[in-house]
Structure 1
């Protein structure tokens, strides 16, 4: 049985709930992106990783493997193309001090932001996020864009889950060689299937006469002010070190 994103959200028990959860995530993202050191970014990532595990458990975290898988090639390119003092050479590939520092900075910052967004996506119903964004005065076109991106993320997760289950059933991860071959096939097929599913989503919205108004009416009260204050104080404190 496949685990859907909506199912995880419905069963989640986050310490911070409602619009407050969205505000905390947005503020934490801003602090993480502006953090001058990797320490602040790492602390933010670990903090929200813990909040995610507390809310939904460890299982859904495997979905983070999808963005990490696509992030890794870019980091490898940065590692061997940045100019600077040579640290290591392997044939035509050269690792420099600048490339290593840039790759480390990008890795920590990316993983931290992924952890924060994972907490929001895994434990917050989309209706709560949409209502919060609308109350904050965000233009409808941006709210609509968020809905499309959200559905695309959910589609990627669902497709990756199905394809991984199918590959496992066919012993696609039996050894290292088979694993590499299977991962290569899954990556290419996942991209194509995701595009097809997103196009189908767009067609279904048009068929239902979607006019740009987000379908979100439920109201949720904010909870967990103490946890929110503790998280923000921790992040600001590390940021000021």
Structure 2
């Protein structure tokens, strides 16, 4: 989980002010909070998640201790390709997460033939990513979904209307699945360059090259 820190600060001369941090990983936010407490100048320290929910230090410590053994800090990159000649779609997703203080990556692609458009394929790729994190055991937390399909991202954010019944059905299916496993989605529109990994997976699927990997990442 990512949070923003709010620190009510009192200087040695009795001047009060409030500091707000940038959004950061909850564990790093706790480290900074501990440093401020050592100076004995912080009158209060509170944390806010992306939904505006307020956390005190004890609550955030408890949360990070509970979730460390489960997959968390999950990010799903998704993309799709659609071949008009064959009516086949290649779906690709790359998933990054942390568990037990280690980082992992899943790469998955599949080819399907039941779809009718590139936009539908993009929705299907996102749904495949959701199925993958469900199999991983991710539940009741925020997950970031990144894709370069403005149609999918903006429709799911409610910023663009969806007039296509097929796409509406996919959106409903996605929302129902996320609700079932307790996922609070954070959708981000990224560039094709930023989404290169998922794009390559989708392309390989259309070339009938199956990729299904799950590895631990080396520490940087």
Q: Which has the higher contact order (CA 8 A, sep 6+)?
A: 1
* TM band (smaller chain): under 0.3
Scaled by the length of structure 1, what TM-score is found? Answer: 0.26
